[in-house]
Amino acid sequence: MEQPEWASREIEQKHRRAWANFFAEENAKKTVAREKAARERAIKELREEQRRNREVNRRRMEEEEARRAEEERVRKELREAERLRKRERAAQAKAAEERGDKTGKWPRWTQDH
């Protein structure tokens, strides 16, 4: 028995629609999977960049802290050297005063040149 032309066309169209739906669903699943992978890749890259930025900032902060500590150490050394110089100058002035080496009202060693 042969089917009528309209019936065979309808069956053929149903088959085409079924296969088209099947391929559309498959393509949609693949597209969703690709988009999800792309999002995950982007998130991973963003997190890696943030990690690198944190590492760079941490190193920069450590270097800045080391620089500040070195500057503070140098300032302390200079301050101590200045205090020592002033103490020595005062001791020299006191020794000269005790010896009676006065040339004027104040001992020479206490006057700025």
In tens digits, what is the pLDDT along the chain, a chain of 113 residues? Answer: 688 888 888 989 999 999 999 999 999 999 999 999 999 999 999 999 999 999 999 999 999 999 999 999 999 999 999 999 999 999 888 887 777 765 555 555 555 55
Phi, psi of 111, deg, nearest 5: -90, 140
CB 86 within 8 A of CB 109: no
80: how many CB neighbours lie within 10 A of its CB?
10
Joined tokens for residue 9: 């066309």
The DSSP 8-state label assigned to residue 100 in this structure reads T
Asked whether 109 and 93 are in contact (CB, 8 A), the reply is yes
Nearest-angstrom CA–CA distance, 48 and 64: 24
Q: Give the number of other Cβ atoms within 10 Å of residue 113's Cβ.
A: 3
pLDDT score of 110: 58
In angstroms, rounded to a whole number, what is the distance separating the alpha carbons of residues 90 and 85? 9
Q: How many angstroms separate the CA atoms of 98 and 92, rounded? A: 10
Q: Which residues contact 108 (CB under 8 A, 6 or more apart)?
A: 93, 96, 101
